[in-house]
Structures are given as structure tokens and as C-alpha cells.
């Protein structure tokens, strides 16, 4: 029997990168999956097609996680289509790497609206709508431990995600819901590669004990484990998935 048989999973930002591989892996382990995306309609439909071709079940639902009304619709339409949501993976996120002195107020607001308000919006819906005994997995980042210069607003946004994780775990534990965050190190996706030189990439790949970049599959495997009933006693934790980087 597959470990997620009978479960329904919602993955935000699942059109690409870690979210797309997580959606595929959740489906491979028996979950029906809602593939959320914002702008990348074609890529999201491809993720759905890949899941269906491999014998799984998935639908794509567009919603901008930074917008409360979109996220309410995302939950309501998903529950109408699949009956419930057991697993919420808060993966949607953007990154900005600039010294604080060079970040505009608008750039800061946009980052916080997606990375923090987006997580707040889904947790707000999940508080009443996620099924009893469900699981929430939020995506933080190892930068909350390394505190690299140039990552100020991004690091602040993920610090907020970690605190929402710890508190939400205590608020919904009574319904049997466990809530955790995973903190990937540098992982080979568009978000990581954009704007980096080959030298930057090699330096960051060399910053963990394995001397390579993480792959989306390295992160998705841990998310699948945290979503399974075997991980129910893990809650309120921030789990580094970074090859001993920090």
C-alpha cells in the first residue's frame, strides 16, 4: 500500500522547481494532488499531465497566494472538486538578493506579500478547512541559519514563516494536524539559478558537506515523509534539508 493512499494534497507554487517535483512525488505515493500556480499555466498543466501519465490523479488551480480572495477560492474549489484537503505544502515563494540599502520599499512589500502573507492566507483557510489529522509543510530556507549578506528581506520572510509554523502547530494540534517547515539549502531550480554566475553556483554548491547543489527531489522526499502518518509526532519543527550546510 502507498503511504499517502486516500489523502488529498494541495501544493502551492507547483508549476516548477521544488513544488512541481513535490506534487509528482506526493501523487506517486498515492495522494490526489492540487497543483497550484500563479502565472505558469502551461507548466502547471504539464505537471498534471506527468502525474496522470504516471497513473496518479491531479488537477491544476490558478491562484495568487498573496491575494486573500484567490486563496479562499483555491481552498473552496479544491474541496468542491476532491472532497477535502489533508496535506498543505506552502511552497510558493520568490527570492530577491540585494543589500538592504538597495532594496526598494515596493520590492520589500512584494516579497513579503508572497512569502509571508501568502503563507498566512493559506494557514488562515487551513485553520478551519484542512481535514482533521492533516499535515502542513511550509518552505523556509537555510538562509535563516547562514544569514548571508544580500538576503535580508528574503531571510526576514522565511524567519516569519518559521514563527508562523511554530505557533500554528500549537493552534491546530488539537485536531491532530502536524505543522512543520523544511529549510532547503541551495537547490537547483530557476529561483536559485536566476542571476547567479557560474562562480556563485560553484561556491554555493561547495558550501555543504556533499559538495553539490541540492536537487528538488532531495527536498520533496522529506516533504512526503512529513506528510505521512508515520511523521505525526513531529510538529512545530524546522527541519534543515541542506547536506549539513548549517
- Cβ contact 112:126 at 8 Å: no
CB of 238 to ligand NAP, least distance (A): 12
Beta pairing partners, 240: 183
Lookup: cell for 157:
520572510
Nearer to ligand NAP, 139 or 160 (CB): 139
Catalytic status, residue 154: yes
Closest Cα to residue 180, out of 114, 87, 62? 87
Quote the Cα angle for 119-124-125, to 5°.
105
Lookup: cell for 65:
497566494
Nearer to ligand NAP, 46 or 173 (CB): 46
Nearer to ligand NAP, 126 or 173 (CB): 126
Consecutive H or E run containing 176: none
> How far apart are alpha carbons 78 and 138 in whole angstroms?
19
Nearer to ligand NAP, 7 or 158 (CB): 158
CB of 132 to ligand NAP, least distance (A): 26
Binding site for ligand NAP (CB under 6 A): 12-19, 36-40, 64-66, 91-95, 114, 118, 139, 141, 184, 186-187, 189-192
203: Cα separation from own chain's centroid: 25
Alpha-carbon dihedral 90, 92, 97, 100, rounded to 10 degrees? -60
List, in sequence order, the alpha helices (H) in the chain: 17-28, 41-53, 68-82, 105-115, 117-129, 143-146, 152-172, 190-193, 198-205, 216-227
Query: Environment class of residue 80 by beta-carbon count within 10 Å: exposed (0-12), middle (13-18) or buried (19+)?
Result: exposed
CB of 93 to ligand NAP, least distance (A): 2
Nearer to ligand NAP, 17 or 153 (CB): 17
| Catalytic residue selected from 37, 57, 151, 154 | 154
For the beta carbon of residue 215, count every other beta carbon within 10 angstroms.
Answer: 14
Nearer to ligand NAP, 102 or 194 (CB): 194
Active-site positions? 154
Amino acid at each position: 500500500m502507498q503511504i499517502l493512499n486516500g489523502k488529498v494534497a494541495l501544493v502551492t507554487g507547483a508549476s516548477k522547481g521544488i513544488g512541481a517535483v513535490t506534487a509528482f512525488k506526493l501523487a506517486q505515493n498515492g495522494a490526489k494532488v492540487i497543483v497550484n500556480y500563479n502565472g505558469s499555466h502551461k507548466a502547471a498543466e504539464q505537471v498534471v499531465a506527468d502525474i496522470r501519465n504516471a497513473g496518479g490523479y491531479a488537477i491544476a488551480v490558478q491562484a495568487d497566494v498573496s491575494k486573500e480572495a484567490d486563496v479562499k477560492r483555491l481552498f473552496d474549489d479544491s474541496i468542491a472538486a476532491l472532497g477535502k484537503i489533508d496535506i498543505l505544502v506552502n511552497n510558493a515563494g520568490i527570492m530577491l538578493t540585494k543589500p538592504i540599502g538597495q532594496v526598494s520599499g515596493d520590492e520589500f512589500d512584494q516579497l513579503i506579500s508572497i512569502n509571508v502573507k501568502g503563507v498566512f492566507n493559506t494557514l488562515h483557510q487551513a485553520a478551519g478547512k484542512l481535514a482533521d489529522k492533516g499535515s502542513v509543510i511550509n518552505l523556509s530556507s537555510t538562509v535563516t541559519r547562514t544569514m548571508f549578506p544580500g538576503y535580508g528581506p528574503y531571510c526576514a520572510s522565511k524567519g516569519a514563516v518559521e514563527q508562523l509554523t511554530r505557533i500554528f502547530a500549537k493552534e491546530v494540534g488539537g485536531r491532530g494536524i502536524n505543522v512543520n517547515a523544511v529549510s532547503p539549502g541551495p537547490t537547483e531550480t530557476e529561483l536559485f539559478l536566476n542571476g547567479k554566475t557560474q562562480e556563485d553556483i560553484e561556491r554555493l554548491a561547495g558550501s555543504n558537506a556533499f559538495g553539490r547543489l541540492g536537487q528538488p527531489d532531495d527536498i520533496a522526499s522529506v516533504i512526503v515523509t512529513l506528510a505521512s502518518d508515520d511523521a505525526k509526532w513531529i510538529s512545530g519543527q524546522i527541519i534543515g534539508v541542506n547536506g549539513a550546510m548549517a
